[in-house]
Structure 1
């Protein structure tokens, strides 16, 4: 079972191009500082904490430095793609130097949980976040929310024309007008959620229906939003914050969000788990609490346009409230079957 999880996660990393890009740039997809095994035996509060982060250093590096300054805890961070780091933790087993895993999506957290690699989090941590945004078993917790949206070019599509369900995108009237990023990890998590929501056969039919409409293929969400702004496509399947970042630079960009009334508005999370083998439990729990603190939640709200998940912190005023978004309520831990999603995308000729 563990070996299959490793292969699945590595397959996702390869499919998303992370390993190929790293090699092309002459760098490794791991991080700034490689921790050594001594990290796991340091003092649990003031010693060295090892974090494997699937969140980009540009997004969370300054926040991690704040934690280090405020607590005096030395942190060694290994940055990389989420799926790739999860596979590394499974491969390293009890010898992994990692204490904490900071993942870009819940699927990788679920994969480690099901492989018995994660520890139960204290109730005082779990209770800071609504139940739908954390593991039912209490072994990971969401830090921020990330919503799938169907963005559209407001010059090409009126609000009344925007599909209320992603199933409407298979209509021939959308031929040549759709943008998607099949190799992107967030898209593949969405397809995994679609499989859980609709079942294998209906998901396959949907993928084939979109494929029949000759969608334009992009490597990343940012490229889709930029194509929308140029009028190259009419609608695009993306995560919500890419448009927010572009609008911060250009408020007049002719692109808007729509939120389908189904799994097309999936709310996934970036979240954390503590590894069950950690010798730095107290420091690990401090790290998780810090990421759920008002200052960290406010940072994500203002700097990355993600949704805060703790009570008392309000989302950026440009965002639709989470409470107003209708979407399929699924156990996000079950987004771990990336192998099945990759297989389906390959069977349909999309990958």
Structure 2
């Protein structure tokens, strides 16, 4: 297996699978984009049977090269169609929503924006934290390009720069700064407030940092996924199929939910305590396969001066 997710997260799932099935899994860990590039370079010569990816864009890139086998309906039926490839080349394992984290002492609920595009307006000047070199921010900007076009997206990036967006190196520093009050708001993934609460030994409700999920299908409420595909040539391999089944089984899904606070995507598995149900979020209708053009996104971010 090629894994674009970390060993610390994946190894307990592998150990459970090996113990239950008697099947040994050899894993190569690395950056998701690097793993995808390696698969594309190797083509039919790849030793990989399964690719576990951090995000949908890299899965879409691999699927676009016809390097995945079609998954059986019994696998695809476990996950909502919005979180899988429409041709059955890959399926989502966990989901993560983009949110606007805000300090409840500094921003009243009634003042929260309905669209992420409002954050370029004067009232938010110097108040919005972003992590422009972070993969999740770049995937979000790629989704904006898909939904609204490059021109409007470049205007948004330029607007953030002109509005004195506060730059951080990742999502966690943004949430920490919002919680302590040195930042009013930030654009992050939903689970970072849960990680901060765990780190501080408290509850999410006790934090000053709160998640705001953008309504009305706004692109600011994008849900991206980690996912898995079986590599072409291993489509009939029962061991590969068994591992994918395990990833979507209750044990693995519960592990991911409890360890990462991401949304389990298999039907019937509950998310972490206190997390709003995925079905309650008003997310944009977008083909996650289309999030594969990160190179242009990075160029646009650089052009704006944000990175």
**TM band (smaller chain):** over 0.9
Taking structure 1 as the reference length, the TM-score comes to 0.83
- C-alpha deviation, 1:295, in angstroms: 1.2
Residue 175 (structure 1) aligns with: 125
Residue 254 (structure 1) aligns with: 208
C-alpha separation between the residues in 2 aligned to 1:314 and 1:253?
23
Residue 245 (structure 2) aligns with: 289
C-alpha separation between the residues in 2 aligned to 1:337 and 1:145?
20
Report matched runs for 1:30-69 at 5 Å: 51-69=1-19
C-alpha separation between the residues in 1 aligned to 2:168 and 2:9?
22
C-alpha separation between the residues in 1 aligned to 2:235 and 2:114?
49
**Which sections of structure 2, spanning at least 5 residues, go unmatched?**
none
What is the aligned residue count? 301
Indicate the SS of the match to 1:343.
helix
Residue 146 (structure 1) aligns with: 96
Structure 1 145/254 Cα, relative in aligned 2: closer, same or farther at 3 Å?
Answer: same
- C-alpha deviation, 1:201, in angstroms: 0.9
Structure 1 279/162 Cα, relative in aligned 2: closer, same or farther at 3 Å?
Answer: closer
C-alpha separation between the residues in 1 aligned to 2:305 and 2:107?
29
Taking structure 2 as the reference length, the TM-score comes to 0.95
Indicate the SS of the match to 1:271.
strand
C-alpha separation between the residues in 1 aligned to 2:107 and 2:302?
31
Q: How far does the alpha carbon of each residue in 1:168-224 deviate from its partner, in whole angstroms, 9 at most, with x for none?
A: 101112111111111111111100100111111111111111111111111111111
Contact map agreement 1:55 1:104 (CA 8 A) in 2: yes
Residue 192 (structure 2) aligns with: 242
C-alpha separation between the residues in 2 aligned to 1:254 and 1:274?
43
Residue 37 (structure 1) aligns with: none
**Which sections of structure 1, spanning at least 5 residues, go unmatched?**
1-50
C-alpha separation between the residues in 1 aligned to 2:292 and 2:140?
11
Residue 333 (structure 1) aligns with: 289
- C-alpha deviation, 1:279, in angstroms: 7.7
- C-alpha deviation, 1:234, in angstroms: 0.6
Question: Stretches of 4+ moved more than 4 A in 1?
Answer: none
RMSD across aligned C-alpha pairs, in angstroms?
A: 1.3
Q: How far does the alpha carbon of each residue in 1:239-278 deviate from its partner, in whole angstroms, 9 at most, with x for none?
A: 1111111112332321000011201010111100111133
Contact map agreement 1:99 1:280 (CA 8 A) in 2: no
Moved more, 100-109 or 305-314: 305-314
Residue 111 (structure 2) aligns with: 161
Residue 141 (structure 2) aligns with: 191
- C-alpha deviation, 1:84, in angstroms: 1.2
Residue 274 (structure 2) aligns with: 318
